[in-house]
Chain A
Amino acid sequence: MTRFFVQRLGLALLVAVFVSLVSFLMLRAAGDPAIAIAGEGAAQADIENIRIQYGFDRPLVVQYADWLASALAGDLGRSTYFNATVAELLAERLPITLTLGLCALSFSIIVAVPLGVLAAVRPNSLLDRLALTIAVFGQALPNFWFALILIVLLSVQFPILPPSGNETWAHFVMPTIVLGYYSMPAIMRLTRTGMLQVLRADYIRTARAKGLDPLTVLFKHALRNAIIPVVSLSAVQFGYMLGGSVIIESIFALHGVGQLAWESISRADLPTVQAIVLVLAVLYVGLTLIGDLLNAWLDPRIRVA
């Protein structure tokens, strides 16, 4: 088990470093960071000055190696755009994004799993069709559009929720619905498929034949086995949500990591972008690991293997 852990952690680190290298090169290919810092319409001399001041005149390899060495030592550097260290920025904004991601994932699971179960119990019924419709909508609806429709409805037409900011729980309601809705279809369909398979299994027939309460059969016997792939999927979906939060955070002005990523990319704030990529890559790999561990806990067969 320890060996498994160490291997996965080493892999995580490698993935993170590789991702940071790729993002570093892509950002450089996208334009001169000195021009971005100087602002639109800056004079040539100002840009040259900034280039030297921030060390952008050094060879790319040196710049990357320099950053990597500091990052490995725990120093993520100073933002070239914001008046703060990257660590400060992340400490301030990561909790917001994680809160949003967790809320959205919970919302998604709470709605999608029961819907998936019900759809499996009565396949091809009206309920199944309804669940399918919801899934198709969720897959097809662009999330920024859905977000704006919600704002029109719940902030302007019936002003019950604030459209932007992150001061109270109410600010998180609409972003949670939008972000959560996006991953509902996948979770629901997977639950439904898993349940359909499990419900045909012999042990379920046995359980029913013993005269067990149908709900116990459904949720204790069937769901526990059907949900295993959903757990792995949820971990991956959580990772997607952190990425998807870029748009949602911008629309609802949540000021989390997603919005920070957007702002720092457009300002060519390289240290911040690189740190965000690194943190998200580590999180993503970590989540996959957690998904595997949860699976092992749910399914003793995996544990033994």
Chain B
Amino acid sequence: MKTTALVTALLASAALAAPALAGKADDTLNIAWSGELPTLDRYYNTLREGIPVARLIWDSLLFKDPATREYKPLLAKSYTVVDALTVDFDLREGITFHNGEPFDADDVVYTFTYAADPDNGVLTQRNVNWIDRVEKLGPYSVRLILKAPTPAMLEYLSGPLVIYPNEYYAEVGPEGMGRAPVGTGPYRVTEVEPGRSITFVKNDGYFEGSPKGQPSIGTIVQRTIPDQNTQLAELMSGRLDWIWKVSADMAERLARVPAVTVANEETMRVGYLMFDASNRTGNASPVNDVRVRRAISHAIDRQTIVDTLVRGASQVVHSACHPEQFGCAQDVTRYAYDPDKARALLAEAGYPDGFAIDFHAYRNRPYAEAMMGYLNAVGIRPNLVYLKYATLRDQVYAGQIDFTFMTWGSYSLHDVSAITSHFFKATKDDYARDDDVIGWLETGDTSVDPAERRDAYAQALQRIADQAYWLPLFTYNVNYAFTNDLTFTPTADEIPRFYLASWK
């Protein structure tokens, strides 16, 4: 860790002197990230970076304005909610796919029918499993029929559900689409070197009046560079124009480099401590006792962790959801940092000398260690069990975990159903098993009346906070670093919009 920090320091100091030669000169935006995209087919890829790539290549029926969060028609011209289970769409005319295929109702019917068919094994079923069927009403109009009322429907229709060209996809399938994608979006893909690089070229025929806006930069080249220090070196030597997920300490040093802009934006990801409140493990753990859970909640100084470690735009959260999500009630029980109160609660629960407990975590080890320090201070002796995500999640599902530090990104959905309902509705993730909470969440998830939903969620969230089933910790943030020549605005949904980037 120390050696890496030293190298970072060296890199930053070297960069102070080095001139940046950005891609502005040849109108090519060079970007990089760590993970290899397994495929470009949006429906068979769960890597985060697949989302910004999909937004370049394809369009969905609707578009969510990142600033106002308003849903606007994109490939649809307009839409009508006929009833809770029926939505009609009028589609735009005169749009063509990158391969020249015209866009019409058949493409929408084909794409949704394909994606909703479980046999096709789309990787994220929750994006599509609410679709019952799609009917063609005319050459440019379709009817979408839902299985059940789906409050988050507009989120899906404006996000993951991109529209494919029916003839091309029927011919090449997921494998062909993954290597040579074709869409209607602002950029078309001209070259894919699997896992290594993707070249995008501006779609000059991108339709007028798209709420996404018109693309500006001529070419975008994405490269996969696993090591963050190497990314940094590439940025410094002018061979890259944009990187993201830069660590907090590196971002601080980078901010002093004149040729580089560092931007920070909050994300939908929330960190939390999960307690086995219902004794699902059968271990008779101290955290079965609400007084112990409250004691832990008072013992940890979340604000200091945010200020010193998480930094950026992050904030402490008190409710078991992201404050920006619909239904995330904020007037719930709060646990101020108060070690004396924590000790008193522990004594009251029968642990005047504290206790030892396994504390699980899978990411952000420094945050976990900071929390352990606070727990030690009130007499609790946590034993850190640091695991890979898949392993920890396995154990959580199997009901083997008493106490763990986890995070959740809600698929960037601005709705409480994507987090609170996921964890507290008697799912495998649910260690609270509170029947009232389950009932309230069910009401919130199925009602189409926003006021009723808000009320139901508020009740559930207040109970979760009062009983300290979770200790919500803080929101996460992302650091972006890019050349000064670039105009780029990060958004809170953690989806970089390269089609809006331009040169200064």
Contact = CB atoms under 8 A, between A and B. Distances in A.
B11 A152 contact: yes
Contacts of A30: 388, 390-391
Interface of A: 30-33, 35-46, 49-50, 53, 79, 81-84, 92, 142, 145, 148-149, 151-152, 155-157, 159, 162-165, 250-253, 255, 259-260, 262-263, 267-268
Contact of A255 (B15, B123, B195): B195
Given A36-B390, A46-B126, A156 B15 contact: yes
A145 B6 CA distance: 10
A40 B388 CA distance: 11
A83 B391 contact: no
B38 interface: yes
Given A149-B7, A268-B390, A50 B179 contact: no
A263 B38 CA distance: 10
A146 to B, nearest CB: 10
Contacts of B39: 82-83
Nearest to A40: B389
B190 interface: no
A200 B353 CA distance: 72
B226 interface: yes
Interface of B: 3-4, 7, 10-11, 14-15, 17-18, 35-36, 38-41, 44, 46-47, 118, 121, 123-126, 129, 174-175, 178-179, 194-196, 223-227, 229-230, 233-234, 236-239, 387-391, 393-394, 397, 408-411, 422, 427-429
Contact of A252 (B41, B44, B230): B230
6 contacts: A35-B390, A37-B46, A82-B195, A162-B239, A164-B225, A250-B227
Nearest to B8: A148
Contact of B125 (A39, A45, A162, A251): A45
Contact of A83 (B44, B389, B427): B44
A41 B408 contact: yes
Nearest to A81: B38
A179 to B, nearest CB: 15
A152 B17 CA distance: 12
Given A35-B390, A43-B125, A46-B123, A83 B174 contact: yes
A40 B389 CA distance: 7
A82 B44 CA distance: 10
A83 B121 contact: no
Contacts of B121: 49-50, 53
Contacts of B388: 30-31
A251 B408 contact: no
Contacts of A35: 389-390, 393-394
Q: What 5 pairs across the A-B complex have the smallest Cβ distances?
A: A39-B46, A31-B390, A83-B39, A31-B391, A83-B178
Contacts of A163: 230, 233-234, 237, 239
A145 B7 contact: yes
A82 B230 contact: no
A49 B11 CA distance: 46
Contacts of B229: 148, 151, 251
Contact of B194 (A82, A252, A253, A259): A82
Given A81-B38, A165-B223, A253-B226, A156 B11 contact: yes
A74 B229 CA distance: 39
B125 A82 contact: no
Given A142-B3, A152-B10, A251 B227 contact: yes
Contacts of B17: 157
Contacts of B389: 31, 35-36, 40
B406 to A, nearest CB: 10
A30 B17 CA distance: 45
A44 B35 CA distance: 24
B448 to A, nearest CB: 22
A83 B180 CA distance: 12
A39 B223 CA distance: 21
Contacts of A39: 46-47, 123-124
B46 A44 contact: no
Contacts of A156: 11, 14-15, 18, 233, 236-237
A267 B46 CA distance: 11
Nearest to A260: B195
B18 A159 contact: yes
Contacts of B195: 82, 255, 260, 263
